[in-house]
Chains A and B, each alone.
Chain A
Amino acid sequence: MFCSMKNPVQRRYVIRCWIGALLVVLLTLVAALSFRVAHLRGPLMYPMATLPALPIIWVLIETGRYLAEEKDEFQRNVLVQCLLGGIGGTLALTTVWGNLEHFAQVPHLDLILIYAIFWFFAALTYPVVYRRYR
Chain B
Amino acid sequence: MECVEGNPAVKRFLWRFAGAMSGYVACLCVAIVAFVHYRPVGVLAYALAVLPALPIVGLLAVFGFYLAEEKDEFQRSLFVQSMLWSTGATLAATTVWGFLENFVHVPHLQLIWIFPLYCIFWGIATPLVKLRYR
Residues of A within 8 A of B (CB): 31-32, 35, 45-46, 48-53, 56-57, 60-61, 63-64, 67, 80, 83-84, 86-88, 90-92, 94-104, 108-115, 118
Contacts and interface: CB of A to CB of B under 8 A. Distances in A.
Nearest to A87: B87
Nearest to A56: B95
Interface string B110-123: 11111100100000
Contact of A114 (B49, B51, B88, B94): B94
B131 interface: no
A91 B49 contact: no
Contacts of A61: 88
Contact of B98 (A57, A67, A112): A112
Contacts of A104: 45-46, 49
A35 B57 contact: no
Contact of A50 (B31, B49, B63, B99): B99
A101 B110 contact: yes
B53 A95 contact: yes
A88 B58 CA distance: 11
Interface stretch (B2-10, B14-22, B101-109): B101-109
Contact of B88 (A64, A88, A102): A64
Nearest to B24: A95
B48 A88 contact: no
Contacts of A95: 53, 56-57, 111-112, 114-115
Closest 6 CB pairs of A and B: A98-B111, A111-B98, A98-B112, A112-B98, A103-B49, A49-B103
B32 to A, nearest CB: 9
B80 interface: yes
A61 B88 CA distance: 8
A111 B103 contact: no
A60 B91 contact: yes
A114 to B, nearest CB: 5
A85 to B, nearest CB: 9
Nearest to B101: A111
A50 B46 contact: no
A87 B118 contact: yes
Interface in B49-66: 49-53, 56-57, 60, 63-64
B113 A98 contact: yes
A99 B103 contact: no
Contact of A80 (B60, B84, B100, B102): B84
